[in-house]
Amino acid sequence: MTIHIRHAEPRDAPDWTAMRLALWPEDSDAAHAAEIARFFARAASGPAGLLPEATLVAAIPAGATEVLVGFAELSRRAYAEGCVTSPVGFLEGWYVVPQHRRQGVGRALVRAAEAWARDLGCSEFASDTQVENTASAAAHRALGFEEVEVIRCFRKALR
């Protein structure tokens, strides 16, 4: 299978929205679409400190066109657990359409994400996943990530 990794373009918004909704179903379709619109507006006017900093998409040929089958949202963070350098390239979101998993799409996205971070001066690359997401943890390990910490996050509303 030929996999083409490239930066997201405005024409990708509907497919990227659908994949984000599959990855993060707790947010609405409208919320994801609004975040993507802000991403492209910011890209046109210059960085404003919002995430993601970059988004890569994985496309495969489909006749005279292409179909998006995955994405990777990327940033640089001042710190990431287990890292000793700064900034750290960070995989904020990573998704491959289920029927295209285990075919090299995720690996191609992560390799391109690592190159993006390296080109921006990062010497480490990090990611995270929820504790119960064992499939994601296994995919990370298969791509050379080492697990460095398991944390529980807490919140408290202040009124």
The predicted structure's pLDDT at residue 43: 67
Q: What is the pLDDT of residues 20-32, one digit of tens each?
A: 999 999 999 999 9
Taken in order of first residue, the domains within the chain and their CATH numbers are 4-142 (3.40.630.30)
> Residue 145's pLDDT is what?
92
pLDDT at residue 45 greater than cutoff 60: no
Phi-psi region of 82 (alpha: psi -120 to 50; beta: other; left: phi over 0): left
Above pLDDT 90, what percent of the chain? 75
Residue 8 predicted with pLDDT over 70? yes
Residue 151: predicted pLDDT? 83
Q: What was the pLDDT predicted at 15?
A: 96
Give residue-wise pLDDT tens across range 53-85: 999 999 999 888 999 999 999 999 999 999 999
pLDDT, residue 156, reads 85
CB-count exposure of residue 70 (10 Å: 0-12, 13-18, 19+)? buried
Six-digit token string for 131: 């504790």
Average pLDDT for 126-135: 90
pLDDT of residue 158: 94
pLDDT for 23: 95
Specify the pLDDT at position 50: 60
3-state secondary structure of 125: strand
Q: Which long-range contacts (CB under 8 A, 24 or more apart) does 48-56 make?
A: 51/75, 51/92, 52/92, 52/93, 54/7, 54/116, 55/7, 55/8, 55/16, 56/5, 56/6, 56/7, 56/8, 56/109, 56/112, 56/113, 56/116
